[in-house]
Amino acid sequence: MSTAMPAQISLADVDVSFGSKTVLSGLNFEVFKGEVISIVGASGCGKTTSLRLLAGLLAPSGGSVSFEGKPVRGPRRETAIVFQDYGKALLPWRTAEGNVSLALEVMGVPGPERRSRISELLALTGLAGHHDKYPAQMSGGMQQRLQIARALAQDPAVLLMDEPFGALDAMTRQSLQDELLDLSARTGVTIYFVTHDLEEAIYLSDRIIGLLPNPGRIGRIFDVPLPRPRDQLITKEDRSFLALRHELYDFVKGSEH
Amino acid sequence: MSARKPDFRPFAVPLGLVLLWEALMLAFPTASETLAPPHAVILGFFGIVTDGTLALQTAQTLSSALGGLAIGFTLGSLLGAAFGLWRWFDRAMQISVESVRLIPSVALIPLSMMVFGFGTRMEITIVAFTTQWPAMVLARAAVREVEPRLMEVATVLQMSLLQSATKIVLPSILPRLFVSLRLTAGVAMIVAITVEVAANPYGLGAAILAAQISFRPEVMLATLIWTGVVGAGINQVLLTTQNRLFRHSLPGGGGSE
Ligand SMILES: Nc1ncnc2c1ncn2[C@@H]1O[C@H](COP(=O)(O)OP(=O)(O)OP(=O)(O)O)[C@@H](O)[C@H]1O
Ligand SMILES: [Mg+2]
């Protein structure tokens, strides 16, 4: 990313504490428009907290978070979230169609257009033919895809995703990774992606933030020099992919002590 | 479910007891003022069915119980929802509510009788007074236990207050409000009968008392059993409706296939 471009999201000296516990400390980074940025780190090091900060669901205890130059005061519709606990984030009394419709209703999309958008989004997330299923009738993977469909219905400028593919089988996971890259290339949506899976982080990202725990802070920011479009086989056999995987592995391993 | 043969096993014990009761009464004949053999109770039942008194008394009790329930449940649920939404309101009202709530409903009979005299209105008032408390407590809990993740979905979508009330809060609490309705319906029947036995010369409760005073144990027992059947019937109707309406949103409600 060129440094001449102004950042879309920037964090300056951000601290987050809950009571006396400091969860995130001295975060400084910028996210650029259209970028895919992943965040990795040990469990409990504050990845979800950082995402909530960017979403405006959480105010920093110190420092500032800004979106397009203006301080973030609360959630905005152009920022969509795919929550980690998909089971709680869907409306159990609405069908797949109804859950996607929720975002469109709130945005005031008129009925007929809503229907075609819903079909489009459900097809995009591989849920075509499951319009009338309730979340309780869907597998974890399907529920997560439904959450993604609803997030995309917001037509977001920034997509915040919290371990979105953690519950999926390898095949579904790979195809959704490719769908996501395709989406990012087509729409230019910025993606902030929390994951435990280092290969996934490398495969998707332009940059990877490595968090250190206790308190959560930035250990290193890794650049991903791999060309786009990426390919599940070719990219993952690239020498720089393997080298980066090694580096990231050492980083996360080292941070656990 | 419906294809299965009905299971008669639960009826074996009560039926056995009834037969034992009949046998004992035949073996040791007594001119009891409180006990009658089952065959006499059945005859007594046909008596009050054919002369129309049972239908009239049932209508009287039901109109008071259901009328009072309608008022008490509505008021209590609204109050409880307000308490759940606004904690300051809950705190401000706590002492007043707790002190009034502890008045036993039966203690209100004289007051209510002074205001309304005998009849439907005094009974409705006491039923309404009594049912509003459990309705209030359950509605408050229901509102407080709306999934916080769903409230975040509402904020992220920047829903208006009205939108989050109608699209998130209300559908979330409806299943629990229905459970509350079922519970308070039981309370309403108990209170209505209590008021009738204690004071109001009216309805099934008064009929039970009158039969006892006039030494007609078979009528007393027939009315008593009928009262139980009516209560169980109301519960069953509500339970069936609940399972039909909230299949997808109540845990264990049969949402998954
Ligand atoms: N609302 C809160 N109140 C108090 N502590 C909190 C709160 N939210 C998070 N924490 C704490 O902050 C720390 C970071 O939590 P967070 O959920 O951000 O971690 P994470 O990196 O997403 O972990 P995981 O990989 O397990 O999802 C944890 O120790 C957690 O207990
Ligand atoms: Mg997390």
Q: Output the CA B112–ligand 1 centroid distance in Å.
A: 56
For residue A52, the chain B residue with the least C-alpha distance is B152
Q: What pLDDT is stored for residue B35 in this prediction?
A: 77
Q: Is the CB of A195 under 6 A from ligand 1?
A: no
Does residue B196 fall inside a structural domain? yes
Q: Residue B160: give the domain boundaries.
A: 51-244
Which atom of ligand 1 has the smallest separation from the CA of A163?
27
Nearest CA to ligand 1 atom 9: A49
Residue A109 CA from chain centroid, whole number? 25
- Mean pLDDT value of segment A204-220: 95
Retrieve residue A87's tokens. 């089971």
Instruction: Report yes or no: B157 and A103 within 8 Å, Cβ to Cβ.
Output: yes
Q: Which of A90-104, B66-80, B84-98, B161-175 has the lowest mean pLDDT?
A: B84-98
Residue A122 CA from chain centroid, whole number? 19
CA distance B20 to chain A (A): 49
Retrieve residue A35's tokens. 């970028």
The rounded distance, in Å, linking the Cα atoms of B61 and B234 is 13
Averaged pLDDT score across all residues of chain A: 93
The rounded distance, in Å, linking the Cα atoms of A36 and A159 is 9
Q: What is the ipTM of this complex?
A: 0.89
Q: Which of A85, A114, A86 is nearest to A100 (CA)?
A: A114
Averaged pLDDT score across all residues of chain B: 88
The rounded distance, in Å, linking the Cα atoms of A99 and A94 is 6
Q: Which of A2-6, B9-13, B125-129, B189-193 has the lowest mean pLDDT?
A: A2-6
Nearest CA to ligand 1 atom 12: A23
Position B133 pLDDT exceeds 90:
yes
User: What is the CATH classification number for the domain harbouring B122?
Assistant: 1.10.3720.10
Does residue B11 fall inside a structural domain? no
- Mean pLDDT value of segment A202-228: 95
Position A130 pLDDT exceeds 90:
yes
Q: Among A91, A106, A107, select the one facing B150 at the smallest CB separation.
A: A91
Q: What pLDDT is stored for residue B3 in this prediction?
A: 56
Does residue B10 fall inside a structural domain? no
Position A167 pLDDT exceeds 80:
no
Highest mean pLDDT pick, A83-87, B21-25, B145-149? B145-149
Q: Which residues pair with A21 in a beta bridge?
A: A18
Question: CA-based Rg of chain A, rounded to a whole angstrom?
Answer: 18
Q: Which residues of B touch A89 (CB under 8 A)?
A: 149-150, 152-153
Instruction: Report yes or no: B130 and B74 within 8 Å, Cβ to Cβ.
Output: no
Q: What pLDDT is stored for residue B252 in this prediction?
A: 41
CA distance A158 to chain B (A): 12
Q: Is the CB of A60 under 6 A from ligand 1?
A: no
Of residues B10 and A105, more confidence is placed in: A105
Of residues A99 and B101, more confidence is placed in: A99
Interface-testing mutation among A106, A152, A160, A162, with chain B (most B C-beta atoms within 10 A): A106
How many structural domains comprise chain B? 1
Position A246 pLDDT exceeds 60:
yes
Torsion angle defined by CA atoms of residues B149, B151, B155 and B158, in that order, rounded to the nearest 10 degrees: 130
Q: Is the CB of A44 under 6 A from ligand 1?
A: yes
3-state class (DSSP) for residue B32: coil
Residue B4 pLDDT grade (very low, low, confident, very high; cuts 50, 70, 90): low
Q: Which residues of B touch A136 (CB under 8 A)?
A: 248, 255-256
CA distance A119 to chain B (A): 20
What is the value of pTM for the model shown? 0.80
CA distance B28 to chain A (A): 60
Q: Which residues of A touch B248 (CB under 8 A)?
A: 92-93, 134, 136
Which domains are present in chain A? 1-78+157-257 (3.40.50.300), 89-155 (no CATH)
Q: Output the CA B153–ligand 2 centroid distance in Å.
A: 17
Nearest CA to ligand 1 atom 31: A44
Which atom of ligand 1 has the smallest separation from the CA of A18?
4
CB contact under 8 A, A137 and B149: no
Q: Which of A82-86, B130-134, B253-257 has the lowest mean pLDDT?
A: B253-257
Does residue B249 fall inside a structural domain? no
First-last CA distance in chain B: 13
Position B114 pLDDT exceeds 70:
yes
For residue B143, how many other CB atoms are within 10 A of its CB? 22
